[in-house]
Amino acid sequence: MIETKAYAAQDEKTPLAPWTFERREVGPHDVQFDILFCGVCHSDLHQITNDWFPGIFPMVPGHEIVGRVVKVGDHVKNFKVGDLAATGCMVDSCQVCENCKQDLEQYCLEGSTQTYNSMERDGSMPTYGGYSNTIVVREEFVLQLKEGVDLAAVAPLLCAGITTYSPLKHWKVGKGHKLAVLGLGGLGHMGVKFGVAFGAEVTVLSTSASKEEDAKKLGAHHFVVTKDPEQIKAAAGTFDFILDTVSAPHDFNMYLSLLRTNGTMICVGVPNEPASVAAFSLLGGRKSLAGSGIGGIKETQEMLDYCAENNIVSDIELIDIKDIHTAYKRMEKGDVRYRFVIDMATL
């Protein structure tokens, strides 16, 4: 077994603290990599506090993981010791169901194995995430990174990046489309970058007028303060797509009214309570309300390669792991530009 240092929550009420545990030995198809940086996702906070569902404790969060390979199994083909490596939200899936065969492992019909707060497929032990010094992952779920990229700023691409890239690709958002990005946080700022890169006319919808300058710097063409009834009235019926990245409760009906005929609102944020949607909000204008979850492994690799070629990274604040609690507090207030990333050398 591999002795591993980490930060873990012992239960849903106890703050993260140093913890040591054992990871499995490197199997024939496994890659072990030492973790250099790990992004801080809002879902880490949701899960260590049982905000979505009862979790598996002790819990080591973190699913935006980048590092360098230290050991590979005998049958590993695409990685060797010293290579860069990355892992996102999943570490395994059944590999044989209809969805897995179509590179949609995130929708595995048997349920994909999450990077933490999940059980290994053989049921032997829980999975533990990236707030740790090393990780063992089956090769199929390890992503490749190009040398020379800014590794800390690449880490959030593994969740925030693919979560916004995948739906924009699926709905073919691009030139000639008016895209609104609702919420300018970790997901939202990546949605803006991809929307702009794909050629869409991008508007940021935000409750806080203070983010307008930042939104424009990220490439957004327009900005709407959602608390201003006049601005909302002017935006009514104008967007082809709304990418909804907000993870707090909000009024879906009001946002659906901003779509054009045949428009689609895509949910990627996860509020902890169900939303109420009136049928009238959809049928007037034949509108669609849709959702999308991360992306498959093949698409995640495509996204990482696209970002490397087009110089797209996340805007980050690098932190020491001892400052994780302050980071969570600031994240809850939306006070982060735009993703915290832990320098794992500080573990």
Q: Write out the residues near Zn ion by the rule CB under 5 A.
A: 41, 43, 93-94, 97, 100, 108, 159
Nearer to Zn ion, 58 or 156 (CB): 156
Nearest approach, Cβ of residue 205 and Zn ion (Å): 21
Nearer to Zn ion, 185 or 263 (CB): 185
Nearest approach, Cβ of residue 80 and Zn ion (Å): 28
Nearest approach, Cβ of residue 16 and Zn ion (Å): 16
Nearest approach, Cβ of residue 314 and Zn ion (Å): 12
Nearer to Zn ion, 127 or 203 (CB): 127
Q: What is the rounded distance in angstroms from the CA atom of residue 201 to the CA atom of residue 89?
A: 30
Nearest approach, Cβ of residue 38 and Zn ion (Å): 11
Nearest approach, Cβ of residue 198 and Zn ion (Å): 22
Q: Which position has the token pair 């250099």?
A: 36
Q: Which position has the token pair 């050398």?
A: 345
Nearer to Zn ion, 41 or 235 (CB): 41
What DSSP string runs through 28-54? TTEEEEEEEEEEE-HHHHHHHTTSSS-
Q: What is the rounded distance in angstroms from the CA atom of residue 129 to the CA atom of residue 65?
A: 8
Nearest approach, Cβ of residue 61 and Zn ion (Å): 9
Nearer to Zn ion, 108 or 256 (CB): 108
Structure tokens at 95: 């590999």
Nearer to Zn ion, 173 or 331 (CB): 331
Q: Which position has the token pair 């806080």?
A: 208
- DSSP H/E element including 337: none
Could you tell me the strand order of the sheet in which 239-244 lies?
Answer: 222-225, 201-206, 178-182, 239-244, 259-267, 288-291
Q: Which position has the token pair 């801080």?
A: 40
Sequence length of the chain is: 347
Q: For residue 84, report the phi and psi dihedrals to the nearest 5 degrees.
A: -75, 150
Q: How many CA atoms within 13 Å lie on the side-chain side of 85?
A: 28
Please, which residues have CB within 8 angstroms of residue 283's CB and are 6 or more apart in sequence? none
Nearer to Zn ion, 94 or 290 (CB): 94
